Amino acid sequence: MRVRVVKIGNSRGIRIPKPILEQTGIMEDVELEVEKNRIIIRAISDPRAGWDFAFKTMAEKDDDVLMLGTDNVSHSWDEEEWQW
């Protein structure tokens, strides 16, 4: 598809047709990247997608115990580097 680059203040921009936005899942913010003279526009994914399901599954298996303060989470750094 061919689109025109338009002036927007001191910058330039393009209009992305609605069907392309729907196909890509782009809603608001995007990631831009330049690779081999190409501009790559990506929808920003939700890094926490699926966490609700994972937490629910953990709770059902009684695997959601807070580990802070237990002997299971200890590292030599705690004793050697950290000043209490």
Domain CATH code at residue 42: 2.10.260
pLDDT band at 37 (very low <50, low <70, confident <90, very high): very high
Residue 43 forms part of a structural domain: yes
Overall domain count for the chain = 1
What proportion of the chain, given as a percentage, has pLDDT over 90?
42
In a domain, 77, yes or no: no
Does the residue 48 lie in any domain?
yes
73 part of a folded domain: no
Q: What is the DSSP string of the chain?
A: -----EEETTEEE-PPPHHHHHHHT--S-EEEEEETTEEEEEEPP-TTTTHHHHHHHHHHTT-----TTSTTS--HHHHHT---
Domain extent at residue 24 = 1-68
Does the predicted TM-score (pTM) go above 0.95?
A: no
Query: How confident is residue 18, by pLDDT bands cut at 50, 70 and 90?
Result: very high
